[in-house]
Amino acid sequence: MKAFRGRPGIFDSVTVTERRAELDVSDLSLSFGGVMALGNVSLSVTTGELLAVIGPNGAGKTSLLNCLTGYYRPQKGTIIFNGKDITHLHTHELVKEGIGRTFQNIELFPGMTVLSNMLLARHIHCKYRLGAALAFLPSVRREEVAHRLVVEEIIDFLEMQAIRKKPVGSLPYGLRKRVELGRALALKPKLLVLDEPFAGMTLEEKEDMVRFLAEMNEEWKQTMILVEHDMSIVMSISKRIVALNFGEKLAEGSPELIQNNPEVIKAYLGEEAVI
């Protein structure tokens, strides 16, 4: 993976195999009582791709992400990640498989600092046991330094040096969103799932986030699934788009094809817009 800002980077050691993120979702269905959240949704993501999932409110976007990250269990269909069936794995197992996520509603620890929140994400990479940690053996100290270097480099990349020791609860909403992205990156995910990362941000904050995501995808070849309502952002950074409506896949294709698709226009703007 290419170094941040051209410097020798911690992420240089990530191999092509470790970055592999091949996702295949087939006929995924999810219902809550008599309400269908997803109906036979199929999609795929290839390594290095930035796939956007769009749709009106209630289209099933977050339900899809919740199935991919283990928060919901679909009643039908399969989710294959790098050749392994992960349909019914628990959330912590999916994190170990290499799937990281940010949330529509921020899920940080407000009383802890930015640095501490991000270091928490490194727990899945800890190799030492409790006894060694209690004794704080040299091997533990070396590993802790390595984890700290990864987190510090992400802080540098996301331009959060000035807030690294501030409690998350004291930060404005846009910066909390950036911290949550940083925590997800600290997992070193193969697939990064982003649930409305631009929601509640100012224009300047959105521009910064677009720049970060574009560099991650273009320079590091980070594989991402993005759910977002801001169509100008979606059209500018995504390579392929899947449109959902009422839990079903409405259309799939390039940004150019999607923005001119009559069914997508109808779902967003109504019948009169198509006419």
- Write the single-letter amino acid at 179: V
Non-local (6+) Cβ contacts of 89 within 8 A are 70, 97
Burial status of residue 269 (CB atoms within 10 A of its CB: 0-12, 13-18, 19 or more): exposed
Q: What is the mean pLDDT of residues 193-213?
A: 92
Non-local (6+) Cβ contacts of 70 within 8 A are 89, 90, 91, 92, 93, 94
1 DSSP β-pair partners = none
List pLDDT tens digits, range 5-18.
444 355 555 566 67
What pLDDT is stored for residue 154 in this prediction? 93
pLDDT band at 4; cut points 50, 70, 90: very low
Q: What is the mean pLDDT of residues 251-262?
A: 92
84-85, strands of its sheet edge to edge: 35-45, 23-32, 76-81, 84-85
List pLDDT tens digits, range 204-235.
999 999 999 999 998 888 999 999 988 899 99
244 DSSP β-pair partners = 249
Whether 168 and 117 have beta carbons less than 8 Å apart is answered as yes
pLDDT band at 269; cut points 50, 70, 90: low
Nearest Cα to 92, choosing from 116, 113, 65, 121? 121
Higher pLDDT, 275 or 88: 88
What pLDDT is stored for residue 125 in this prediction? 75
Whether 102 and 193 have beta carbons less than 8 Å apart is answered as yes
Q: What is the mean pLDDT of residues 39-48?
A: 95
What pLDDT is stored for residue 275 in this prediction? 37
Whether 78 and 27 have beta carbons less than 8 Å apart is answered as yes
Whether residue 1 is predicted with pLDDT greater than 50 in this model: the reply is no
Whether residue 273 is predicted with pLDDT greater than 50 in this model: the reply is no
Compute CA distances 41 → 47, 77, 133, whole Å: 20, 8, 45
Q: What is the CATH number of domain 4-274?
A: 3.40.50.300
Distance CA 13, CA 215 (A): 18
Domain ranges of the chain: 4-274
Whether residue 50 is predicted with pLDDT greater than 90 in this model: the reply is yes
Whether 242 and 264 have beta carbons less than 8 Å apart is answered as no
181 token code pair = 């992205």
pTM of the model: 0.86
Distance CA 236, CA 61 (A): 20
List pLDDT tens digits, range 234-249.
999 998 999 999 999 9
What pLDDT is stored for residue 209 in this prediction? 94
Range with lowest mean pLDDT among 87-91, 145-149, 163-167, 188-192: 145-149
Whether residue 2 is predicted with pLDDT greater than 60 in this model: the reply is no
Range with lowest mean pLDDT among 13-27, 28-42, 102-116: 13-27
Whether 62 and 195 have beta carbons less than 8 Å apart is answered as yes
Sign of CA dihedral 207, 211, 212, 216: positive
Higher pLDDT, 86 or 271: 86
List pLDDT tens digits, range 131-180.
766 667 777 777 777 888 889 999 999 999 999 999 999 999 989 999 99
